[in-house]
Structure 1
Amino acid sequence: MNQPLRLLFAIGFLLSLHSSISQTPTQPEEKQISSSTGVWLGLYTKYHFNDKWAYYGEYHIRRRDGFEDMAQVYLRFGATYTIQRYLDFTAGVVLPFYWAPDQNDPNVDNVVPQYRLWQQAVLATPFEHIKVYHQLRTEQRWRRDYVKDSPYELTHRFRYKLTVYVPLNKPAFENHTLFVSLYNEIFIQAGKSIVYNHLEDNRSFVGLGYNLSEQFQIQGGYMFTFRHRGSPFDYEKRHIFRLSLYHHMDLHLNRHREERDIPIH
């Protein structure tokens, strides 16, 4: 091969190599972490029909950027079966509605629903002065992007939550008990569209609660979450104030108060 041809091949190879390198996406040297704030308001209900069966419901309004923008309306419904005194099982459906972050983008739907099935087991391990609960929850989620006409995809989520209640002004939990509420919850997701973000979220909460009566309880506090945002290096810290009201009622007359050892959440 003569010298001009060799030179042409060399130039062509270098141009091809440069094009390949320039098209390779660059990744940051370290993970990117953003921060946000929010307010979550919730109502939790549990209504017993008999000693074994109960209706379970959760209803949430979630705001982001403090209280400025709507984030979600979250509706969870289920039927609870008491397996034994310290163990409940619940299954049902969830219908959350998500508000797109950019409401002025003409290419997105401003509000997008999801469709879920869910199952949950709650195990109580009561001690003399505190209560500890283990919650294992699974969800099958049909969800899509905010972009218009995006297809729904099925993903799976697995959640474990450890909750501790410590009474402050009384030796046991009864009417007018002020207590500390602590929990940590880990979220793991799976599915065809989940490539590297299997550890979805970790939530920690600390707050105060008060038993208003046998049927009503209120809790408020601070929740910190650290979650994955969909890329290998993009994460978010969320600082969220939570205020929740709990309503627990027996719809039959033969159930004894001391038998209700499983919480309504």
Structure 2
Amino acid sequence: MKSIFYMHTKNIMVVILLLCFAFAKAQEEQISPTESKFKEPKTKYWVNTYGNMRISKRLFWVAQTHFRFEETKDTPFVGQLGQIYNRHAIGYIYNKKANFALGGVLRLNFNTSEDGSGPNMIPEYRIWHQYQFAVPLWTSMAYHRLRVEHRWTKGFDEGDEFIFRNRWRYMFRLKIPLNSPKLQSKTLYIAPESELILQSGKSVVGSPLEDLRLNATIGYIINPRLTVAAGFMYSFGQTLEDGGLYNQNYTARMHIYFSPDLRKRKNKLPEIHFRD
């Protein structure tokens, strides 16, 4: 079991190194910034729902809705609504330790600029696909997730047009039970997590590192179909306009995971889902 975990981890790290090398080669002719500067951290608050609805032996429907708030001048964390996510997909269960998904995203971006110029809301469109692998590790579970997003975004300035970019995301997460020998009903767990998000495209001049997210979460498995969790995340990444200027964010997050089984009763399997 331990050797399997190391084998999966080694393979994932090779993929990450190849991606980083490709980005480095693509950017080597660009003029590098003379120095790096970090903006003052911005505070945010996310409320996220994650639905994985079983519709057949192999297929499940991914239905996620996220409400993302951010600070204003006088109110930290929840001062104003920044984005609403609607992410959907059809997933395929290869086995208990691997699944894949393909779908689309409609994100509503709200104008949070202090001067209030420009439209109040602009939609963002994405096509996404992901590949997730779960590996038992003693009493815990380790998760590797590779996600690729093809996105069309637009700014709020007059004359801005939609631009196309690709996002390349790798996430590693551990789930460690605290009051039970394994992840089961009525289990409290902690989940350290890190995610690297790279971007590419004609509009990405010298800013391949869109985000690096470091997150710690504590959760509670109510039953095999419902889990609640809360956590705190620190993230930073290059701005699209200037590769030497970095954003920083402190984000409080709350999550609800639900996994209804829409199949006939005789086909239902009462097990803790791993597709979060």
TM-score normalized with structure 1 length? 0.85
Aligned to 2:128: 118
Aligned to 1:85: 96
Aligned to 1:95: 106
Measure the CA separation in 1 of the matches of 2:218 and 2:188: 7
Equivalent residue pairs, number? 236
1:82-129 deviations in whole A, cap 9, x for unaligned? 1222110000000001112226534x1121110110000100111230
Aligned to 2:5: none
Q: Identify which of 34, 44, 48 aligns with 1:42.
A: 48
Shift of residue 32, structure 1, vs aligned partner: 3.6
Shift of residue 33, structure 1, vs aligned partner: 2.8
Q: Identify which of 39, 58, 61 aligns with 1:55.
A: 61
Classify the secondary structure of the residue corresponding to 1:169: coil
Q: Is the 8 A contact 1:45 1:264 kept in 2?
A: no
Higher alpha-carbon Rg: 1
Measure the CA separation in 2 of the matches of 1:30 and 1:158: 23
Q: Is the 8 A contact 2:134 2:144 kept in 1?
A: yes
Q: Is the 8 A contact 2:207 2:238 kept in 1?
A: yes
| Alignment RMSD (CA, Å) | 1.6
1:126-172 deviations in whole A, cap 9, x for unaligned? 12300001000000001111123421111100000001000000001
**Aligned positions of 1:69-218 closer than 5 A:** 69-102=80-113, 104-106=115-117, 108-218=118-228
Aligned to 1:11: none
Measure the CA separation in 2 of the matches of 1:255 and 1:92: 24
- Structure 2 unaligned runs (5+)? 1-32, 72-76
Shift of residue 46, structure 1, vs aligned partner: 0.5
Q: Is the 8 A contact 2:36 2:245 kept in 1?
A: no
Classify the secondary structure of the residue corresponding to 2:243: coil
Aligned to 1:232: 243
Measure the CA separation in 2 of the matches of 1:29 and 1:187: 22
TM-score normalized with structure 2 length? 0.82
Measure the CA separation in 2 of the matches of 1:170 and 1:240: 29
Q: Is the 8 A contact 2:38 2:248 kept in 1?
A: no
One-letter amino acid of the structure 1 residue matched with residue 48 of structure 2? G
Aligned to 1:255: 268
Aligned to 1:68: 79
Measure the CA separation in 1 of the matches of 2:238 and 2:189: 32
Following TM superposition, where does structure 1 have runs of at least 4 consecutive aligned residues deviating by more than 4 angstroms?
Answer: 27-30
- Structure 1 unaligned runs (5+)? 1-26
Measure the CA separation in 2 of the matches of 1:118 and 1:61: 19
Q: Is the 8 A contact 1:112 1:146 kept in 2?
A: yes
Aligned to 1:5: none
